[in-house]
Structure 1
Amino acid sequence: MPIKAGDQPKELTPPKPRLSEKEIIEILDVLKLWKAAKELNLTSEQLASFIPKFNRYEEVKREYYRSRRDLVSEIKKLVEKKTLDQNEKAKLEELMAKLEELDDKFYSDIREAFRAMTEGLDTVQKAKLIVFLESYRRDIRRILMHLRELGERKR
């Protein structure tokens, strides 16, 4: 479009970058790994061993929570019905059994992943890792809330 005399310049705003959920998770995983390595003061050798084990630990958790969320969603659909026929009751029992199996498998897998992740760490590093893992989720939630507030103020 040609510009004419008296036209006011339009304010250009750059497009907002859109990250996929997968990209956001990857960024948060890298941040978490970096913060853990820093907090534990890992040596180069420890870090090389720690990274794949840390990633495995996170993957065990992610897969469990995704699977559990899906199962609970199916359970919820059934329990929200006014009445259940025999097939639906059987399906509900099956889903509840699957949930119990999933929980048992998770506790076993997460224990094993944690044990593997802490191999090669000294007692103080293990203790720091426990504290870090406990507080990191809360810290990220706080940071994300703060970022949302900043984003809302800019609007």
Structure 2
Amino acid sequence: MGISQNLVTRPPITTTTTGGSEMLIGNINNNVMKLVDSMSRLEGKVDQVKSDLKVASLDIQLHQAVLADTIEIMKESIQKFIPQSLTYNKTDRASLIPMAQQLFNRFSYAAINLREGFEANRKISRSSTYTSSNNIEQPVILTSLLSNLQNVK
């Protein structure tokens, strides 16, 4: 099949002598050290996967928060701003400028919070140590993002 297989052979069992026992113990010790090294590398890879999953989870929560606020801003613009801009006469439309500016500011804050949230998520993933827990904690940045978005309204 073209696949080479390394066969593991065990040393022949012979009568144990002091030199033979030491060599056998040395071989066992080497194999254990290789196993420990392999386990260490595996743990490192598992930690990296945990880190990647944590960042992805934080990003999803961030997206959800910003998306919910963006939908609210769009809903308000459709309900309040667009109908008035179509029905008001030319001089009355000038009164809509502050409302348009407020909607624009809310979109701007959402974009800024999204960028800052992504940066904070990356900092959290680089600096945190992981415990064996199935719960992913809600980061401080997400909490502050939600309160900032609520305050802008």
TM-score range relative to shorter protein: 0.3 to 0.5
User: TM-score, normalised to structure 1's length?
Assistant: 0.40
